[in-house]
Amino acid sequence: MKKLIIALLISFASTSVFAGSHSPCGVTSGSINILANEFTTYRIFMDEVKSCAGPDADFNVTHSVDHNKLQVAALSANPAEFSAKLVTNGSITPLMNDGLIRPLDDLVAKYGSNLNDNQKITIDGKIYAVAFMANAQHLWYRESILNDLGIAVPSTYEEVIAAAEKIKAAGVMENPYAGAFKSGWNLGQEFVNMYLGHGGEFFISGTAQPNVNNEKGVAALNVIKKLTELSNPDFLTQDTNAVKEEWESGNVALMHIWNSGAASLLDDEGDQNIKADTRLAPSPTVGGGNKPATTLWWDGIAIATNTSDENAESSFRALVGAASSTDLANNNPNATVWLIKGYTPGDTAGPVVDAASRGTTPYPSFPHMSLMHGALSTELVEFLQGNESAEKALADVEAAYIAKATEQGFL
């Protein structure tokens, strides 16, 4: 945790000279083909990667919100369909499980002299990824609406619910709260946040046995249920991008979404009155816990195992050039919290730094976590629709997980 805070708060004296090392930019050989998630910050990052690669490079990037579903199949092929993948602490595990991304130590030694040490993601002593940004979900609110009703900025979910109820009762908004509750990965993530906020553990320590059907799980589900009752009735179809649209249409006064959303919510497009009224706040705690009910994420670059060394090197050069570009970070200080050397955090970095300093748990990186997340994605819907009890939903999650984990050889 400390490392991040130090990296963020202390502005490094930036040396833009790649002294004693090869300059990464200006790739002329090999082809670069990147798979990445789709959101504004990644677009900004990719523009920098492209300009670092230079005009002579064979450069391709595929942005897809389905990147998680594509990555294993795409990188398992030999040669892999993509030479590089933007990964997070969540999506790196399935790639590591199958050995689909390569150690980067030699490439980092050659081209990474301008990286911070905390950008190097080391697993068992080897660098497998280079992080360039930190992200977390946190609270967003409309200042004027809270002020008009005399509501203090909520710091717990109990207060969030009370505030939303007050806004609704005052007739200001019909559905004042929003979160990415779309059934699937997003809904699973909401539970992950809330369960960790209650101090839950997903697995019985030291095993792959599930451990969500307990008091903490039930409490987490009940909070989510209350929040969805204050959300747009279509909540099961709304992902982060849909929630942002709701926000920009002025339908929502409180939401819990990604810090990187600032890149599109606080840009010059859309209703500027809403933008001027938009405030960021730390992620709330829940159920008397002291950790915010959210997870810490890093986003980084990883290179496919099943690609030629030439492609791997050229892809790494372009990507690491962007991941160590102080200009990129300081020209877009509010796009996200960059981990890049010499970055001065912008106005929007606060909630992520706050989450890190209050001991928020990073997203769990167990090899079997994606199966748990998958089970959460599908089995919680009926509870939220009021068709089944929280205990039953969680029992279903465990049963679905066990069936999948058995098939995958984890149990």
Least separation in angstroms between residue 202's CB and other proteins is: 13
Least separation in angstroms between residue 348's CB and other proteins is: 18
Provide the β-strand partners of residue 262: none
Give, as ranges, the residues between 38 and 57 that touch other proteins (CB under 8 A). Answer: none
CA distance 143 to 280: 9
Least separation in angstroms between residue 391's CB and other proteins is: 13
DSSP element (H, E) containing 27: none
- How many residues sit in the footprint of other proteins (CB under 8 A)? 72
Closer residue to other proteins (CB): 234 or 310: 234
The stretch among 22-30, 56-64, 86-94, 103-111 that binds other proteins (CB under 8 A) is 86-94
Least separation in angstroms between residue 77's CB and other proteins is: 13
Provide the β-strand partners of residue 166: none
- The answer to whether the CB of 394 falls within 8 A of the CB of 331 is no
Closer residue to other proteins (CB): 119 or 264: 119
Binding-site string for other proteins from residue 343 to residue 382, where x marks contact by CB under 8 A and - marks none: -------------x-----x--xxx--xx--x--xx--xx
CA distance 328 to 350: 19
DSSP string, 155-195: -BHHHHHHHHHHHHHTTS-SS-EEE---TTHHHHHHHHHHH
174 binds other proteins, rule: CB under 8 A: yes
CB neighbourhood size of 310 (10 A):
12
Least separation in angstroms between residue 31's CB and other proteins is: 26
Give, as ranges, the residues between 115 and 154 that touch other proteins (CB under 8 A). Answer: 118-125, 131, 134
CA distance 107 to 247: 42
H helix count then E strand count, the chain: 18, 10
Give the position of tokens 């809904």: 187
Residues 6+ apart with CB under 8 A from 22: 110, 111
Least separation in angstroms between residue 228's CB and other proteins is: 10
- The answer to whether the CB of 78 falls within 8 A of the CB of 114 is no
Binding-site string for other proteins from residue 253 to residue 292, where x marks contact by CB under 8 A and - marks none: ----------------------------------------
The residue from 9, 15, 65, 99 that contacts other proteins (CB under 8 A) is 99
Q: How long a stretch of residues is the chain?
A: 411
The residue from 145, 312, 339, 390 that contacts other proteins (CB under 8 A) is 339
Angle value at C-alpha 40, between 345 and 310, nearest 5 degrees: 95
The two tokens of residue 321 are 């050039």
Closer residue to other proteins (CB): 147 or 249: 249
Give, as ranges, the residues between 381 and 400 that touch other proteins (CB under 8 A). Answer: 381-382, 385, 387-388, 392, 396, 399-400
The stretch among 35-43, 50-58, 93-101, 212-220 that binds other proteins (CB under 8 A) is 93-101
Least separation in angstroms between residue 359's CB and other proteins is: 10
The two tokens of residue 201 are 């553990």
Least separation in angstroms between residue 123's CB and other proteins is: 5
Least separation in angstroms between residue 55's CB and other proteins is: 33
* Exposure class string for 242-257: b at 16+ Cβ within 10 A, else e: bbbebbbeeebbbbbb
189 binds other proteins, rule: CB under 8 A: no
183 binds other proteins, rule: CB under 8 A: yes
CA distance 184 to 374: 7
